[in-house]
Structure 1
Amino acid sequence: MFKIGEFSILSSISIHMLRNYDKIGLLEPKYIDESTGYRYYSKEQLPIANQIVALKVMGFGLKEISNMQLENMQLDKLKEVLQNKIIIKEQEIKQIKRQLSQMENALNDLEKEENFAFSIVTKRIPPRKVASFRMKIEEFPDEGTLWQTLGDECAKLNVEFADNDYAIAIQHEINFDDNYIDVEVQRTVEKVMEDTDKIRFFDVSSCDVVSLAFQGGYYRLKDINLYLAKWIIQNEFEICGPVFNIYYVSPEHEKNEDKFITEVCFPIKKRK
C-alpha cells in the first residue's frame, strides 16, 4: 500500500487532485485509516491512475472519465468511447478552423479600414404571421409607396400588429433589362385574416440568416450587400432565399437618415 504522497509521485497526479478524485468518486483510496485519516492506495490502482492521466491529456473531462467506470470497462466499450471522442474533436477542429478564417478575414478588412466583419451574426428569424403587399417598382426609393399602401389597407381592416412588429422588405427580383424591381413589404400581425385585392395574409416559416445591422442612410446598402455576399462564400454557406431588410428605425419614424437602423438579412444554408 502507498501513502497518498507516494502514490502521487508514482502516478504523476498531485495530492490535491487525488483528494479531488476521491471526492468525486473517480479514484478512491483503497483504504483510509480511521484514526489518522491517512489515505492509502494499492499498486493495482496505478494502471487506472495512468489511464486517467492519459484520458485527460486526450481532452476528456473528469465527469466523462468518471462515467466510464474504468475499473470495469471492457476493451470494446473503451474503443467506442474513443471513436466517439474523435468525431467530437474533429467537429471542434472544423469549428476552430472556421473561427480562425473569420478572424483572418476580419483582420484583413480592418487593414482595409472596413469594419463590417464585427457587425455580422448568424441567427434564426422566428416564424411569424404577416400582412404583405408586393409590386414591381422602377427605383428603390419607390418602395415608400408600397409601405403607404400596406399601411392604408391595414388601417381599413383594423389589423392588429404583433408586439414584435417586423417591417420587412424583400427583394424578389432586380431586372435591369426591363427596368423593374420586384419588391414585397411585410408587417407582422397578431392573426392571419382574409386576403383582399391588394394585400395577403399568411404564415412565414423560420429561417437561418446571416445579418448585419447598421445605423445610417440607405446609400450604404449596396456595399453591405456586396460584403455579406462575399462573407457567405468565404464561410462556406450559400444563399437559399431572397434577401430582405428589416427596418427598425425608418423614414416613417425618423427624418434624419443618420439615425435610420436597418438589418440586412441573407437566408443561408451550409454549403454541401
Structure 2
Amino acid sequence: MFKIGEFSRLSRVSVRMLRHYDQLGLLTPSQTDSFTGYRYYSADQLPRLNRIIALRDLGFSLEQIAEMLDEDVSAEQLLGMLKLKRADVEQQMQTEQERLSRLEAQIKQMNQAANHTKYDVILRDIESELVGTYREVAKDDNRIQEMFDLVEIYIAGYENARADKPPFTIYYDDEYRDEEIDCEVCVPLKYAIPENESIRVRKTPKQFKVACVIHVGNYLNIGQAYNALLNWIDSNGYQMKGLIREIYLKYGADGLEFELPQTYLAQESNQYVTELQLAVEKL
C-alpha cells in the first residue's frame, strides 16, 4: 500500500488531482485510515488511473469519464462514445480551420493595404452612352451575371453591334442589398438594335461631377473602395446625387460561345478592375 504522496510520485499525478478524483468517485483510495484520515492506494489502481489520464488527454470531461468507467458500460457503448468524441473533434478542427482561413485572409488584406497606394477619388464628367440594357430585381450577384450573359448573347446576334467599351451595372436600391437587388445591366452598343420583351436600348444621360474610384482585385474586397468613396464624399463636403454604377474595366467571362472585347477580359479574379461612379453635389 502507498500513502497518497508516494502514489502521487510514482503515478506522476498531483496529490490535488488524486483528491479531486476521489471526491468525484473516479478513483477512491483502496483504504482510508479511520483514525488519521490518511489515504492509501494500491498498485492495482494504476491501470484505472492511467485510463482516466488517457481519456482526459482525448478531451473527455471528468463527468464523461465517470460514465465511461462505469462497470455497466459495455464495450460497444464505450466504442460509441469514442466515435462521438471523434466526430466532435473533427467538427472543432473544421471550425478552427475556417477561423484560421479568415485570419489569414484578414492578414493578407491588411498587408496589401499597407503595401498599396490608397484609393484615389477623382471628379469627372461621364458622357452619354448607347447601351443595351436589362433591368430586374435580381435574386443575388449570380443572377446579375446571368443578366449580363443574356444581354451579351442577344447583342451578339447583330453583326458588329457590340461596342469596344466596358459593361456596367446601375443600382437603383436606396440601401445596400445582397439579395433582391434592383439593378440594370448595361452593354455598350455601336448602333441601335431592335428591342425585345426584356432587353431595351437607350442612351444613358450625361452626368456631371461624378466621383470615381478604381478597385483592383476580386469583388470580395470591393467594399474597401465603397468605404473610400464614402469617406471622400464626407471629407470634401459633397452629398450623393445620383445612382451608383460599377464599371467593369477588367472582368471574367467564361462559357460564352462568342468573343467579347479582349481589352476588358481578365484571366484571374485578382486581375479584375472595377470603377465605382457616383454623381455628387456640394452641400
Displacement of 1:228 in angstroms is 0.7
- Matched with 1:186 is 186
Q: 1:177 to 1:123 in 2, by over 3 A?
A: closer
Paired position in structure 2 for 1:79:
none
Residue type of the alignment partner of 2:202: F
* Deviation beyond 3 Å, 4+ runs, structure 1: 112-118, 174-179
Name the structure 2 match of 1:130: 131
Relative to structure 1, the CA distance from residue 177 to residue 169 in structure 2 (aligned partners, 3 Å threshold; closer, same or farther) is closer
Secondary structure of the 2:231 match is helix
Equivalent residue letter for 2:136? M
TM value normalised by structure 1: 0.53
- In structure 2, the residue matched to 1:46 is none
Q: Does the 8 A contact of 1:134 with 1:184 survive in 2?
A: yes
**Letter matched to residue 120 of structure 1:** V
Distance 2:159 2:125 in 1: 30
Question: What's 2:272 paired with?
Answer: 260
Aligned to 1:241: 242
Q: Distance in 2 between matches of 1:242 and 1:148?
A: 23
Q: Distance in 1 between matches of 2:272 and 2:250?
A: 5
In the alignment, is residue 221 of structure 1 matched against residue 222 of structure 2? yes
Please state how far the C-alpha of 1:169 moved relative to its aligned partner: 0.8
- Identity between Structure 1 and Structure 2 (%): 17
Q: 1:216 Cα deviation (Å)?
A: 0.5
Q: TM-score scaled to structure 2, two decimals?
A: 0.51
Q: Would the aligned equivalents of 2:119 and 2:225 in 1 still touch at CA under 8 Å?
A: no
C-alpha spacing 1:174/1:162, structure 2 compared with 1 (3 Å): same
Q: How does 1:23-62 map to 2 (within 5 A)?
A: none
Question: What CA distance in whole angstroms lies between the structure 1 residues aligned with 2:204 and 2:231?
Answer: 27
8 Å CA contact 1:174–1:180 kept in 2: the answer is no
Q: Who is 2:155 aligned against?
A: 154
Is the Cα–Cα contact under 8 Å of residues 174 and 181 in structure 1 kept in the other structure? no
List gaps (5 residues or longer) in structure 2. Answer: 1-112, 254-264
2:156 and 2:162 in contact (8 A); partners too: no
SS of 2:173's equivalent in the other structure is strand
Structure 1 unmatched runs, 5+? 1-111
Letter in structure 2 aligned against 1:162: A
Aligned residues: CA RMSD: 2.5
SS at match of 1:119: coil
Instruction: State whether structure 2 residue 173 is matched by structure 1 residue 173.
Output: yes
Across the two proteins, how many residue pairs are aligned to each other? Answer: 159
Give per-residue Cα distances to partners, 1:106-127, cap 9 Å, x unaligned.
Answer: xxxxxx9596755211111111
